[in-house]
Amino acid sequence: MSDTRRRVKVYTLNEDRQWDDRGTGHVSSTFVERLKGISLLVRAESDGSLLLESKISPNTAYQKQQDTLIVWSEADNYDLALSFQEKAGCDEIWEKICQVQGKDPALDITQDPIDESEEDHFEEIPETTHLVELPPCELGRLEEIADLVTSVLSSPIRREKLALALMSEGYIKKLLGLFRVCEDLDNREGLHHLYEIVRGVLFLNKAALFEVMFSDDCIMDVVGCLEYDPALVQPKRHREFLTKTAKFKEVIPITDSELRQKIHQTYRVQYIQDIILPTPSVFEENFLSTLTSFIFFNKVEIVSMLQEDEKFLTEVFAQLTDEATEESKRRELVNFVKEFCAFSQTLQPQNRDAFYKTLANLGILPALEIVMGMDDLQVRAAAIDIFSYLVEFSPSMVREFVMQEPQQTEDDVLLINVVIKQMICDSDPELGGAVQLMGLLRTLIDPENMLASTNKTEKTEFLSFFYKYCMHVLTAPLLANTAHDKNSKDHPEGSAKINPVCPDNFQTAQLLALILELLTFCVEHHTYHIKTYIMNKDLLRRVLVLMNSKHTFLALCALRFMRRIIGLKDEYYNRYIIKGNLFEPVINALLDNGTRYNLLNSAIIELFEFIKVEDIKSLIAHIVDNFYKALESIEYVQTFKGLKGRYEQEKDRQSQKLNRYRRDARSMDEDEELWFNDDDDDEDGEAVERRMDEDFSDSYEKFMEAKKGAANGANGANNGKSAAIPAASPAVTSSNSSSSSVKTVALPATPVVKVTKRHKHILLSLKKKKKKKESKCLFLNLFKACRNCQCFLSVFLLDCSCRIGGLP
């Protein structure tokens, strides 16, 4: 697999007649049992997967082009090509194909596909008649030659035989000699016949003929023949344009003569295909597929040759970044680099990767910073095109470069800030350049194309960089055009609103819409960074000022920004919206819109419908509490009534939840009496309980004496302003019942409350517990029981809490 002779690139021709690269691998020819024949196999050099498996059919026409290409068609409109790294490998596979088909490897084409209409007559054609008999190349026979050429186009076999005849006899050059004679004699009839002949020869679609026709000594005569279209009254002046108007500019002298010849040839052939030849009909589309391939592989070869010439490229970028370079010279250099990048699109991915790395090493990005700031519109447009090639191919490469800039330069001249300023300052009324740059910025800040990076921290680092150094530049026009609203709270209610966006400035409104579109993208994809920025700058309030704009599309952009924020269902955002009362401009816009059924109306209602369906409780409560009176008259949709219903449901749910823990004191006493109707205390429990009652009585008397002394002291301090509390004379009622012993203390200021059995039961359990943690739990239960009935135990508990370590 390491044999470079068999290394190939696989191409397929797409519907737009452009070659798509399918990958690089190594080709072999072997017998495939499933296909029952010798087949071409190409396995990818990266992972060994099968890129191509094609049986060598006896009736398939294979063509060998430019010594390293083999092209063929496997089915209708499905063309394949193998581009070999070395000529020796191409020759080996070509010999194998010719061996299977029984053809002479010296030929550059095996055969054309045979139409069904000709298959029946194929055997009738004698093997000796290999060529079509051409009339003598004379002025008097031009009409006959033209008829012959046009008649064979419908037959693949006859096209092949005519092509072989034209090649074998050097017929093309003889025809072009007659063209010069006819033009000297102004023989219009002969010139019209030559137009038909040359056009027909091009439609033969043979690379070998193209090599002759597009050579330096023939191509201008071919263009001359194509000027004399019989359908035109006067001939076109294509040669005059190619030789005088279209001039080849060498921004840096090209010393390689072969490269210069290839560039000239490619430009002229491209001109023939795009300008001179009429658009092919449906039946003629395949006639020029080889011409497309010819141009494609020429471009590949040009890029490869330029890339290998390091001295040439180094000089190009040295002059491009040199401050002493004249503006006109710099313009030519930029246009050259643009064309160079456009040609590079024909390279396969591996080679394209190497190509852009070469440009990066030569300083393409610093050069773009310089040329993007120039006043020349053409230069700026070309620089934007180059930047788009770089971003589309490798956003990570651009991000890596810009993150290194703050260490070397100021914020104002950062590459991304230069791009943003170009977007903001676009002079095109339709903002064509701004739209393109906005798309490039979106690609650069898209986290989706950062995930596959080998640098795992790229996302965090770049977004931090962007929000620190670039976001303020992006939002500057937005903040500047909404600055009038900063003191809107100071205006008295009902005062006229100031519209900060100039109603006649459509271009500014378009620019703000582009910025909002990018910010909306950030809300959706940058969670932390954009949230922090919105809060710090109060950005949503400033954006919603644009709801007042006379440009509906701008108001919709502002609404879309808020809709995306609410769509995240982030309570942090929701609290920000509620605190700032940011629904007010949206509802005002809805009410100002009146009964008009338009896009703005539908978008606002959809916003509230989303809040209702998703049941965002905090926003629903805010909207109903503050705006329902203004919205309740809107009945053509059920959205606002639905919001009110959601609001009422939530209030009922909260009320039920509170009532579940709030019970009447009297009913609680009844429940307690029912729960303690059965007396199951055993004798041990009674003894312990009696001892506990005695302890409780002693502790309580001590506590009350201390409290009484404190009260008397306070009364003395108040100089007798308050009557002294009389001494407590506890009335104790004792019962010798075997089941319980209750002591009731009557105080003048406190009603006599009976201690329930539940209290004593808890106290008894508290007495038995040894562990502090368990005592705390039981103590808490006792405290809860006494807190509601307000019995004297709740006072006593304060003293007990000190003994067991306080409430848990």
CA distance 115 to 157: 9
Would you say residue 405 has pLDDT above 90?
A: no
Please report the pLDDT score of residue 738 as a whole number: 35
pTM: 0.61
pLDDT in tens, 93-106: 988 888 888 787 77
Identify the band that residue 805 occupies on the pLDDT scale cut at 50, 70 and 90.
Answer: very low
Q: Roughly how many angstroms between the first and final C-alpha of the chain, as a whole number?
A: 78
Please report the pLDDT score of residue 131 as a whole number: 59
Q: Secondary structure of 210-237 in the HEC alphabet? A: HHHHCCCCCHHHHHHHCCCCCCCCCCCC
Count Cβ atoms within 10 A of the Cβ of residue 210 and give its class: 0-12 exposed, 13-18 middle, 19 or more buried.
buried
CA distance 403 to 468: 11
Identify the band that residue 164 occupies on the pLDDT scale cut at 50, 70 and 90.
Answer: confident
Q: Which residues contact 504 (CB under 8 A, 6 or more apart)?
A: none
pLDDT above 90 covers a percentage of the chain that reads 31
Would you say residue 148 has pLDDT above 70?
A: yes
pLDDT in tens, 728-763: 333 333 333 333 333 333 333 434 444 555 555 555
Q: Which residues contact 312 (CB under 8 A, 6 or more apart)?
A: 252, 254, 306
Quick check: helix, strand or coil at residue 612? helix
pLDDT in tens, 186-209: 999 999 999 999 999 998 888 889
Contact 290, 206 (CB under 8 A): yes
Please report the pLDDT score of residue 685 as a whole number: 46
Sign of the CA dihedral running 774, 775, 777, 778:
positive
Looking at residue 242, the DSSP 8-state letter turns out to be: I
Going from the C-alpha of 721 to that of each of 211, 711, 716, 724, the distances in angstroms are 126, 13, 9, 9
Contact 168, 120 (CB under 8 A): no
Q: Average the pLDDT over each of 128-137, 308-317, 375-384 and give the range with the smallest value.
A: 128-137
**The two structure tokens encoding residue 416:** 């991304």
Would you say residue 502 has pLDDT above 70?
A: no
Sign of the CA dihedral running 775, 778, 784, 789:
negative
Going from the C-alpha of 669 to that of each of 672, 739, 742, 780, the distances in angstroms are 5, 20, 18, 19
pLDDT mean over 598-605: 93
Of 477, 374, 465, nearest to 424 by C-alpha is 477
Of 564, 543, 630, 641, nearest to 592 by C-alpha is 630
Please report the pLDDT score of residue 490 as a whole number: 44
pLDDT in tens, 235-277: 999 999 998 888 887 888 888 888 889 999 999 999 999 888 8
Q: Average the pLDDT over each of 159-163, 224-228, 528-532, 709-713 and give the range with the smallest value.
A: 709-713
CA distance 568 to 437: 27
- The secondary element (H helix, E strand) that includes residue 631 is helix 617-631
Q: How far is CA 595 from the centre of its chain?
A: 37
Which residue type occupies 531? K
pLDDT mean over 404-409: 69
Please report the pLDDT score of residue 113 as a whole number: 43
Please report the pLDDT score of residue 520 as a whole number: 96
Residue at token pair 């009320």: 655
Task: Select the more confidently predicted residue: 409 or 468.
Answer: 468
Contact 440, 387 (CB under 8 A): yes
Which residue type occupies 267? Y
pLDDT in tens, 514-556: 999 999 999 999 988 999 999 999 999 999 999 989 899 999 9
Please report the pLDDT score of residue 747 as a whole number: 36
pLDDT mean over 38-52: 87
Domains of the chain, CATH where assigned: 4-101 (2.30.29.30), 141-308 (no CATH)
Count Cβ atoms within 10 A of the Cβ of residue 174 and give its class: 0-12 exposed, 13-18 middle, 19 or more buried.
middle
Would you say residue 602 has pLDDT above 80?
A: yes
Q: What is the mean pLDDT of the chain?
A: 78
Would you say residue 677 has pLDDT above 70?
A: no
Task: Select the more confidently predicted residue: 525 or 704.
Answer: 525
**The two structure tokens encoding residue 43:** 């396995």
CA distance 22 to 283: 27
pLDDT above 70 covers a percentage of the chain that reads 73
Please report the pLDDT score of residue 741 as a whole number: 36
Please report the pLDDT score of residue 760 as a whole number: 57
Angle made by CA atoms 397, 403, 408, in degrees to the nearest 5: 120
